[in-house]
Amino acid sequence: MPTGIQVGHGVRTSATQKLFAQGSLQSTENTTDLALEGEGFFKIQLYDGTFAYTRDGSFKVDSNRQLVTANGYLLEPPVVLPENFIMETLAISQDGRVTVKVIGEDDPLEVGQLEIYRFVNPAGLQNIGSNLHKTTPASGEEIAGQPGVNGMAKTHQGFLEMSNVKVVEEMVNMIVAQRAYEINSKAIQTSDSMLATAIGLKR
């Protein structure tokens, strides 16, 4: 049975993949900014009580003296700063220990311990926007650990991780693609010119 003329619809994206390669670290001198060096994510509690994961460490201190994201999501496990704390003395070590001084005390108090979370297949995480990701059957369950221990990422206070896009490499790839397009276009023009010449000879 004849199927008729089949018309294509151009190209389409067959697959996409999330790359969590290490980005460069940029100093911000903000005591609540944290960058991850290595593999892992921060765990965030959303407003509906569910959890998401992010490498965005631009944290703030809310009215309850808790570390939260720029959107107000709580860091998990929670870090609650004591009353009368001195913001300038907030210190977070590379292994995730959080200390701060309070007014009237000479010695800093340890107020929390950060945890980092890894996945067997981080590319399988579901992107939900705002630099947040959720677990899926493809990503596997979270693997928790202390920063800087057993392959977990280290935390760097006063830094933020920038984009992991390699601008120079992508520019080179774009130039290569542009040149390939120009060559193909020139080949079509040459072929058209040769066919026109052949038709002219027949006449």
pLDDT per position as a tens digit, 18-29: 778 888 888 998
**How far is it, in rounded angstroms, from Cα 34 to Cα 155?**
6
Worst-scoring range by mean pLDDT, 6-15, 56-65, 170-179?
Answer: 6-15
Q: What is the pLDDT of residue 68?
A: 93
Q: Is the model's pLDDT at 3 over the cut of 60?
A: no
Q: Is the model's pLDDT at 12 over the cut of 60?
A: yes
The model's pLDDT over 46-60, given as tens digits with 9 standing for 90+, comes to: 999 999 999 999 999
CB neighbours of 49 closer than 8 A, spacing ≥ 6?
none
Worst-scoring range by mean pLDDT, 16-20, 158-162, 180-184?
Answer: 16-20
Mean pLDDT over residues 106-132, rounded?
Answer: 90
Q: What is the pLDDT of residue 41?
A: 95
Q: How far apart are the first and last CA of the chain?
A: 40
Q: What is the mean pLDDT of the chain?
A: 87
Q: What is the pLDDT of residue 67?
A: 93
Q: What is the pLDDT of residue 203?
A: 60
Q: What is the pLDDT of residue 198?
A: 78
157 — pLDDT class (breaks 50, 70, 90): very high
- pTM assigned to the model: 0.75
Q: What is the pLDDT of residue 200?
A: 79
Q: Is the model's pLDDT at 113 over the cut of 90?
A: yes
Q: What is the pLDDT of residue 1?
A: 47
Ranges of each domain in the chain: 25-161, 165-203
Q: Is the model's pLDDT at 185 over the cut of 80?
A: yes
Place of tokens 């870090």: 79
Q: What is the chain written as a DSSP string?
A: --------------------PPPPEEE---TTBEEEESS-BEEEE-TTS-EEEE---B-EE-TTSBEE-TT-PEEES--BPPTTB-GGG-EE-TT-EEEE-BTT-SSPEEEEE--EEE-S-GGGPEEEETTEEE--TTT---EEE-TTSTTPPEEEETEEE-----HHHHHHHHHHHHHHHHHHHHHHHHHHHHHHHHHHHH-
